[in-house]
Chain A
Amino acid sequence: MSALESILQEAEAQLEKLPDTDGAELMQYYRDLGYLPPTYMATPGGKATLQKADVAFKRDLRASGLFTPAQLQKLRLMHRDSFLLEALRLLMDFDEGTPLPRMPEVGEVSLLSRLVHYRLFIYGLYAHKVDRPFGGADQPGRKQLRTYTGLMNDLEAVNLLADKEGLTQRLLRFWGYDEGMLVFQISEPPATLDPEEFRMNRAFIAMAKRDLKRSPQETERLEKAILRTRNQNLDWSFIYAHTGADIYRFFIRLIQVHQWTSGLYTGALNGEMEAITLGSVQTVVQLYNQSDPNDEDLHLKKMLAYLGEGYWVFNATHFLKIYMIEQGAGDPTESKVISELSYHADQLSPQVQREFTQRTQQLMREAEEDLKEESRDVIGRPFRRIYQGVKSFFRNLFRWGRKMVDAIIRKAKGLWTSLREMFCRIIRGARRALLAFVNGVKMVLGKLPLMTAQAGEVGLSQLELTGDGFSVIPKGWSAQDLHQHRKAVMRFENGIQFSLMMLGELLRFAQTLVVGIVAWPLLLLQIVNSFKLVMKKYQAMYSTT
């Protein structure tokens, strides 16, 4: 069997094995937006409910003005059966979410009202049913949001919630210099944080003063109250009064969303600095320090200090500034991360490459388990949910560069979770990519005929790599039967074009390799990557036609 056929066989085997998560993902979004009841689970009997949700969402999507008819047409052309899911992914993104064109009218229940409620809910500003009419229960949350963002225009403020970077910048500008030192109480810190080691120290104070230098008044106030070495003469009335302040909770929410979107947090988005939140902050600091030896290390003790009696202070301004510096450092895409990983893996010695292969296979298995778990989702476990948006997640991974391969081999704590999340994301899109790949290779091998059955008789068409084609059409077929076959041929021909473009991408990538990677999971990543790159080209084509 040739190497090519062996890869084809492996691809087909994977295709049969890969969990199909589209349905679970779609249902989750429907539940989030109130198109399905929160307790809805897929059962044969529940099919009608799901169909009703499909119909309602489609109707609302068309009426919403969120996409122009041309954009919707483009989504349909590109994503066919999964176009509703793709539309939802764009709408539920917190990095570059689709901007709402207008605020809903009072009393309106629509996709717009649901999205406003959902975005407020994620940031802890709304705690009612997402499908309630707009303008009642959401008023207090919108008012709070105006206060937090300093924006008087509700539409601008709600759209900012779907742009995490913009929101962070805005919050830092408005509140970072006055309220960025979060005082909180925690009964059980993570076992990895010894409170006594984190007693207030000069490094924390110096950093706080630097971050607050634009606000001398606040600096003075904090100096009197909490910025005191060894916690001498702390102002406990200040501490008690400020613990759990609403603006602090909003800061913590934002940190949790950052951590969640970076693949480092799977706890609840609740605005509480609990052990899991604090633990994830500790992880991100460790990962930052391990990833690039050329960068100055971060020191958690400069951002976190223990005040006593279970009270702590966290310099959120500094922490969020680090996120913003990272985000300003460019926009590494998924494609760059995968290419980086493949490039460095390609250069390993055969023995190390075997270890690397075993680890990536393990990642793949674990990711598949996660996805199976996800499809059993979700009642009573609010935030093992899919995050839409890739910028911050892949930026976080891209920092690792060459060290990503070592980290996989030694199963680096912290990064492993992110990598597992990456594999989950890849697998979610892998079925379509693999199918396109398999069809492309079969086309090259001359093994891809198209047969359709109409009126109990089979018609056949084949296009060959040279461009030759032939058809055999049953004598008994009506014009309608032939029409159906013709439609199938057109779809088939479009599919072939797509598959060949994708193979071209893959071959171009393979030309850059020195040795030739052997690990199947990495090849899968690259296939998915090629698929996405071609999808982007198609998107550009449809945008200009």
Chain B
Amino acid sequence: MADLKTAVANLKAKISDKIEDAASLEVATFSGTFEIETSSLIGQTKEDGSVDKFSVEKVLSSINSSTVNSKLSLVAYSLIKLDGDQANIVKSTLNEQEKELVNFHRQMIEASQKSRQAIVDMVAGLLKIPTT
């Protein structure tokens, strides 16, 4: 097994990279259907016999790909900058379900903000920087 020190270095590098991208926060909510083949959800056995645990990533990438995007319609999109500036796009005509989705979108923004705060707290804790 690889040693912890190296793994920790990887982990810290990963977090640092991401933190650099965290000057703004984007949240998007789509309405639509996507089809996932069962085989994409189940871990695929690789040539060396190990099981690829993260095949779900392929699912994500397929959802993000242009081939599938056509099936999705954007209901709400928010861009929030660290200085507090905020931009929101909401679909102009909303049916009942989409109105609910806008509420859900707001909650996703809150969840995203908390999640980012957790990362900031973790990094600050490692560097022993007090946060408010």
Contact = CB atoms under 8 A, between A and B. Distances in A.
Interface of A: 2-4, 6-7, 9-10, 12, 441, 444-445, 447, 449, 457-458, 460-479, 482, 485-486, 489-490, 493, 496-497, 500-501, 503-504, 507-508, 510-511, 513, 515-518, 520, 523
A468 B29 contact: no
B17 to A, nearest CB: 9
28 contacts: A3-B3, A9-B53, A445-B14, A449-B56, A468-B26, A469-B109, A470-B29, A470-B30, A471-B29, A472-B31, A472-B32, A472-B63, A473-B31, A473-B104, A475-B33, A476-B33, A479-B97, A482-B97, A482-B101, A486-B107, A490-B111, A497-B118, A500-B122, A507-B12, A511-B8, A516-B4, A516-B6, A518-B3
B53 A12 contact: yes
Nearest to A503: B122
B118 A4 contact: no
Interface string B90-107: 000000110011001101
Contacts of A461: 108
Contact of A6 (B2, B33, B57, B125): B2
A449 B60 contact: yes
B104 to A, nearest CB: 6
Nearest to A442: B54
A-B pairs, top 4 by smallest CB distance, nearest first, are: A516-B5, A467-B116, A3-B2, A504-B122
Contacts of B101: 473, 482
Given A3-B10, A441-B11, A447-B54, A468 B4 contact: no
A4 B126 contact: no
A523 B57 CA distance: 27
A476 B100 CA distance: 13
A460 B104 CA distance: 13
The B interface is mostly helix, strand or loop, or mixed, namely helix
Interface string B1-42: 111111111111011001101100111111111101000000
Interface residues of B, number: 59
B113 A444 contact: no
B126 A444 contact: no
A324 B32 CA distance: 68
A297 to B, nearest CB: 38
Nearest to B78: A469
A109 B71 CA distance: 62
B14 A4 contact: yes
A298 B31 CA distance: 74
B89 interface: no
A437 to B, nearest CB: 11
A510 B112 CA distance: 28
Interface in B37-56: 53-54, 56
Given A475-B33, A516-B8, 7 more contacts: A4-B7, A469-B28, A471-B30, A473-B75, A485-B104, A490-B107, A504-B121
A294 B45 CA distance: 57
A7 B11 CA distance: 11
B27 to A, nearest CB: 5
Contacts of A478: 97
Contacts of B60: 449, 460, 462
A387 B63 CA distance: 51
B129 interface: no
B115 interface: yes
A467 B8 contact: no
Given A482-B101, A500-B118, A504-B121, A471 B2 contact: no
Contacts of B14: 4, 444-445, 465
Contact of A466 (B10, B21, B59): B21
Contacts of A2: 2, 7, 10
A469 B118 CA distance: 14
A523 B1 CA distance: 11
Interface centre among A447, A472, A504 (most CB of B within 10 A): A472
A6 B96 CA distance: 47
A403 B22 CA distance: 46
Contacts of A475: 31-33, 97
Nearest to A476: B33
Given A10-B1, A497-B114, A465 B11 contact: no
B37 to A, nearest CB: 12
A7 B2 contact: yes
Contact of A467 (B56, B112, B122): B112
A507 B112 contact: no
Contacts of A485: 104
Contact of B118 (A7, A458, A501): A501
B11 A444 contact: yes
